[in-house]
Structure 1
Amino acid sequence: MKGLVYEGPKQVAVKEVPDAKVQGPLDAVIRLTTTNICGSDLHMYEGRTAVEEGKVLGHENMGIVEEVGPGVQQVKPGDRVSVPFNIACGTCRNCQTGWWSFCTRVNPTEGMDGAAYGYANMGPYDGGQAEFLRVPFADVNLLHLPQGTEHENDFTMLSDIFPTGWHGVELSGFVPGDRVAVFGGGPVGLMAAHSAIIRGASEVFVVDQVPDRLRLAESIGAVGIDFSAGDPDEQILERTGGLGCDRGVEAVGFQAHDAAGEEHPALTLDHLVNVVRTTGGIGVVGVYVPQDPGVDPPERADRVDWQYGTFFTKGQSMGTGQAPVKRYNRQLRDLIIKGRARPSFIVSHEVPLDEAPDAYDKFDRRVEGYTKVLLKPHG
């Protein structure tokens, strides 16, 4: 089968790779209908993680069940399914308490709880930017979707970014009526803004400098804040009469850049501490890493120099970590079906798998119009 393989910094290629197969009684094999390029894939693409060469990338996946192992009971060939990026056993302590993103059984990497498809340090699992995908613990991990092709480009957001955006809002302690600041207008940030609006936010700010992203934020009723036009803290405080926001979502991560393009890992954390009111909350779903090959020494990435003293003085709270997709995906699926959510508003391109290397390059360089790329492995 064909799959997109990581070959080194800013080098990916579509190649023949080993076929996805049922390897155990609880496995399923999925024929991918849509698989997405995620903003967090770019950390690997740029060589800023420890992902190994030869890895098939791709953790945002959906498709049709092709084959199941003899122990699978809840799904069958022909079922249309969403595949959460988390791989979970369903029975360990973390899974049983709803933290499928931190499963203690599925990742043999030392010091890491939780696994994912095609991602650095997240276990030995190939990704789904390919024609087929093996899914372990299929009964636990797969979400049934209505048959057919309706809502394809909405449902494909259920594997990661829609639940992750929702999780960022949840981690912040959001309640209806809150005013929310989202730093980062990429796909996850836009999903966080969409989630906050669906959940009844009184006002949502999205901070970025890419015009396409700011336009998309405004298209769903958020207020776009262009940080290249001036200090975003001052812009938000001016618009709120000095009150700031009740909640904030960090959707950028460790490769945050200022308007001049200089990298500052703590930049968005500092901004959020400034614009969130005393006793307010912050949800961090942007990726931070314990080691980064892009810095010397790599372990320096584990210490982020942010204004914790101000955070403490203001009595703020913070939640962090990868989204437990299964906690939210069924409800978000139903919001899509009923027309209450339309996460596909961010989609800019749908391309065949063979065009993935070019799409990675353009998405990474923020070429105008490249906001979210969907890959169609079977046309």
Structure 2
Amino acid sequence: MKAVVYKGPREVGVEDVPDARVERSTDVLVRVTTTNICGSDLHMYEGRTDFETGRWFGHENMGEVIEVGDGVDKVQVGDRVVLPFNVACGHCKNCERGLTNYCLTAQPDPHMAGAAYGFADMGPWAGGQAELLRVPWGDFNCLRLGEDADERAADYVMLADIFPTGYHATEMAGVSPGDQTVIYGAGPVGLMAALSATIRGASKVMVVDRHPDRLRLAESIGAIAIDDSQVDPVEAVLEQTLGLGADNGCECVGYQAHDPSGDEQPNATMNKLVQSVRFTGRIGCVGVFVPQDPGASDELARNGQIAFDQGLFWFKGQHLGSGQAPVKKYNRQLRDLIAAGKAEPSFIVSHQLSLDEAPEAYQHFDARDEGWTKVVLKPAGV
């Protein structure tokens, strides 16, 4: 089968690799029809992780079931399914508590928890930027879709990661009807957090970024765009909230945050959120932070640390939730919102391309080129 193979920093190629196949009785084999390039893929693409050359990316996947193992009871050949990026067993201590983002079975390292398709340090699972994908514990991990699955693939594929991840940010932030919510980062996840905050009834959603195409998308769903290359975002948020600060906020950037001049400043968004959110407010952090970052520019960041404004955070009595999203906690209800026409996460999609066009797409998406807001790949062709 063909797959998007990592060849080294900022280099991928579409190559023939061994076919994915059913290996255990609980496996499901999926013919991938739609798979996304995610902002998290860029950390690996840029060489900022220990992702091994020769592996292939792809944790935002959906497709058609073409084979099931003897131990699969629910999922059937012909089903259209979307797969949570979390590979989870469904029966370990964490999975039983709904924390499929920290599965203990799918992660072979006993000192770690959590697994994902085609992701650094998240187990051996092959990615779905390929023609075929092996799905372990298929009955548990497959979310079946309705008759409109192919027609609305660009919406449903967002259930694999970024829509539930954006929603998780608002869940940790405690966004409630009438709240004023600020979101730092208008990449795909930040835009999904803005959409989620709107779904949850926020009266005012403010989105901080500096890319005009992303800010336009935020405005298209009713959010207030704040360009931090033009104004102080903290002052802008205070202005919008009578000087009190937002009720809650979401961090959707992560450890490669930059200041407007282009210099990396991994603590920038976290500290600005502390300043932007009111006393006793809540912050949900889904932007990726890593335990080690050898490519960082300073010693703290190289060891996965940031100079966090703990004093002000403590003084304001704020609350912080962080970590990867447990996709299965949200994907079923978010699927039903899409099916009912209440949510259309595909508004962020700028390009739908064939798998063969992936190398060029990675270059444009990594460069944050104008108009490259979200890339969807179609292994069978567009």
Do they fold alike, i.e. is TM over 0.5?
yes
Helix, strand or coil at the partner of 1:237: helix
Who is 2:141 aligned against? 141
- The one-letter amino acid of 2:207's match is V
* 1:191-250 deviation per Cα after TM superposition (whole angstroms, max 9, x unaligned): 000000011001000000000000000000000000000211011111222111001000
- The one-letter amino acid of 2:3's match is G
Who is 1:158 aligned against? 159
With over 3 angstroms needed to count, the CA separation of the structure-2 counterparts of 1:272 and 1:298, relative to structure 1, is closer
Is it true that 1:66 corresponds to 2:66 in the alignment? Answer: yes
- The one-letter amino acid of 1:364's match is D
Contact 1:79 1:147 in 2 (8 A): no
- Alpha-carbon deviation of 1:300? 3.0
Helix, strand or coil at the partner of 1:206: strand
Who is 1:237 aligned against? 238
- The one-letter amino acid of 2:156's match is F
Who is 2:108 aligned against? 108
With over 3 angstroms needed to count, the CA separation of the structure-2 counterparts of 1:297 and 1:308, relative to structure 1, is closer
Who is 1:248 aligned against? 249
How does 1:335-354 map onto structure 2 within 5 Å? 335-354=337-356
Contact 1:255 1:264 in 2 (8 A): yes
Tell me the distance in 1 between the aligned counterparts of 2:294 and 2:276: 32
- The one-letter amino acid of 1:311's match is F
Who is 1:308 aligned against? 310
Contact 1:208 1:227 in 2 (8 A): yes
Question: What value does the CA root-mean-square deviation take over the aligned residues?
Answer: 1.1
Greater than 6 Å deviation, 4+ residue runs: 296-299
How does 1:172-321 map onto structure 2 within 5 Å? 172-295=173-296, 300-321=302-323
Percent identity between the aligned chains?
60
With over 3 angstroms needed to count, the CA separation of the structure-2 counterparts of 1:297 and 1:69, relative to structure 1, is farther
Contact 2:294 2:302 in 1 (8 A): no
Q: Structure 1 stretch 115-124 or stretch 174-183: which is displaced more?
A: 174-183
Helix, strand or coil at the partner of 1:302: coil
Tell me the distance in 2 between the aligned counterparts of 1:109 and 1:185: 34
Contact 1:50 1:293 in 2 (8 A): no
Helix, strand or coil at the partner of 2:39: coil
Who is 1:325 aligned against? 327
Pick one of 357, 360, 371 that aligns with 2:362.
360
The TM-score normalised by the length of structure 2 is 0.98
- The one-letter amino acid of 2:243's match is G
Tell me the distance in 2 between the aligned counterparts of 1:231 and 1:291: 30
- The one-letter amino acid of 1:22's match is V
- Alpha-carbon deviation of 1:298? 9.2
* 1:78-131 deviation per Cα after TM superposition (whole angstroms, max 9, x unaligned): 000000000110001110111001011111135220100000000001100000
* 1:17-73 deviation per Cα after TM superposition (whole angstroms, max 9, x unaligned): 010000000001100110000011100011111111111101000000011110001
Tell me the distance in 2 between the aligned counterparts of 1:189 and 1:301: 26
Tell me the distance in 1 between the aligned counterparts of 2:227 and 2:12: 32
- The one-letter amino acid of 1:224's match is A
- The one-letter amino acid of 1:316's match is Q
Who is 2:86 aligned against? 86
* 1:157-201 deviation per Cα after TM superposition (whole angstroms, max 9, x unaligned): 000000000000001122211110000000000000000001100
Helix, strand or coil at the partner of 1:311: helix
Unaligned runs of at least 5 residues, structure 1: none
Unaligned runs of at least 5 residues, structure 2: none
- Alignment: residue pair count: 379
